[in-house]
Amino acid sequence: MRKYTLCSMALFLLLVAPGWACAQSGVALYVEAVMTGDVSVLHKLLDEGYVHIDVDGRVMNKRTFIKCIEWGSIQVDRLHLEEVTTLRYNNTIVSTGTLYFVGRTDGMPISSPKQRFTVISEQARDEERILLFQATPLRIKSTEPMRSNAPSNAKSEGRAR
C-alpha cells in the first residue's frame, strides 16, 4: 500500500506539478516585466490578440498596453500578488488572485490599490502566451452601504392603476 502511494505521488509530481509551475511562471514573468517596464519581455509574453482591462475599466490591446508601459503613462511603484489559484484546461491556463498595485496611470494614483485579477494564457509547445489580464477593484470595508444606480423615487413601469 505504501509503495502504491509513493508511486502515485511520484506520478502526480511528474505529470501535474510541472504544468502548475509553468503556469505560475507565466504570471510571475508578466508581473516582473510590468514592474520593471521590460517591454521586450512583454512583446514575447503577450499574445497578438492580448486584451488588458485595467481596474478603471479601460480596455487596451497589446500595442497600446506596451506603449503605456514604455512611455511611462503606467508607472508601478509596487506590485504584489497573493492567494493565486491556477487551473489548467488542456492548453488554457487561468490564474486568479489578489493584486496589490501602488502606482500611477496617466499621472494619477491608482483608484483602487487592492484588486482581484484574472490572467488567461495559453501553453503552446514550450512557451506560454498571455491572452487576457483583467483587474476588478475590491472595496475597502466601509460603513456606507452600497448604492443602487436607480433613483430612490423610481416608479415601476407597466402597471396602470
Helix or strand holding residue 32 (H, E) = helix 17-36
pLDDT in tens, 37-56: 999 999 999 999 999 999 88
Supply the pLDDT for residue 3. Answer: 45
Tracing cell 516582473 back to the chain, one arrives at: 32
Among residues 23, 54, 18, the alpha carbon closest in space to that of 132 is found at: 54
pLDDT given for residue 32 in this prediction: 93
132-146: average pLDDT: 75
Is the Cβ–Cβ distance between 30 and 50 less than 8 Å? Answer: no
Q: What is the pLDDT of residue 55?
A: 87
Provide the residue ranges of all domains of the chain, joining segments of one domain with +. 16-137
**Distance in angstroms (rounded) separating the CA atoms of residues 74 and 52:** 13
Query: Is residue 29 exposed (0-12), middle (13-18) or buried (19+ Cβ within 10 Å)?
Result: middle
Q: Is 16-137 a CATH 3.10.450.50 domain?
A: yes
- Percent of the chain's residues with pLDDT above 70: 71
42 closest CA partner among 24, 71, 65, 60: 65
Look at 115 and 154; give whichever has higher pLDDT: 115
**Residue 5: is its pLDDT beyond 50?**
no
Report which DSSP code applies to 50.
E
Model confidence at 99: pLDDT above 60: yes
In this prediction the pTM is 0.70
Distance CA 45, CA 62 (A): 10
Q: E-strand spans in 10-161?
A: 46-53, 59-61, 74-89, 92-105, 108-109, 114-124, 127-137
For the ranges 11-20, 78-87, 111-120, the lowest mean pLDDT is seen at 11-20
